[in-house]
Amino acid sequence: ETGVTQTPRHLVMGMTNKKSLKCEQHLGHNAMYWYKQSAKKPLELMFVYNFKEQTENNSVPSRFSPECPNSSHLFLHLHTLQPEDSALYLCASSQETGTNYGYTFGSGTRLTVV
């Protein structure tokens, strides 16, 4: 596989469920990101990992918990979500954090919280 792969593509979960989103990149990049995309809002940066270390947490509620076991894999663990958390969750990677690097995005996970 090439590029950035996200699973699952679609997820419907109840507010009491626990689920995880998975992202894998095959580009040899060292930085990985989680973004949230809601209707009529700009992409919101959630978490940043550089060389497996979390470098930023953009005031994301604790019901979202990221995990980066290595530079190629990134997870987003979800628990007790709210309906307003329904959105497209995008994973991205880049060579490193910092200037001059464009991001490559995965196809996203469309999350619906019921």
Task: Summarize as ranges the residues that interact with another protein (CB under 8 A).
Answer: 33, 40-43, 45, 48, 50, 55-56, 90, 97-108
Backbone angles phi, psi at 83, to 5 degrees: -55, -30
Using CA atoms, how far residue 30 sits from 10, 52, 102, in Å, is 26, 8, 13
Contact 21, 36 (CB under 8 A): no
CB of 75 to another protein, least distance (A): 18
CB of 29 to another protein, least distance (A): 13
Residue 71 buriedness (CB in 10 A; 0-12 / 13-18 / 19+): middle
Residue 16 or residue 39: which is nearer to another protein going by CB?
39
Cα dihedral 94, 100, 105, 111, rounded to 10, equals 100
Residue 28 or residue 42: which is nearer to another protein going by CB?
42
CB of 30 to another protein, least distance (A): 12
Token output for 24:
């894998």
Residue 17 or residue 44: which is nearer to another protein going by CB?
44
Residue 34 or residue 64: which is nearer to another protein going by CB?
34
CB of 101 to another protein, least distance (A): 8
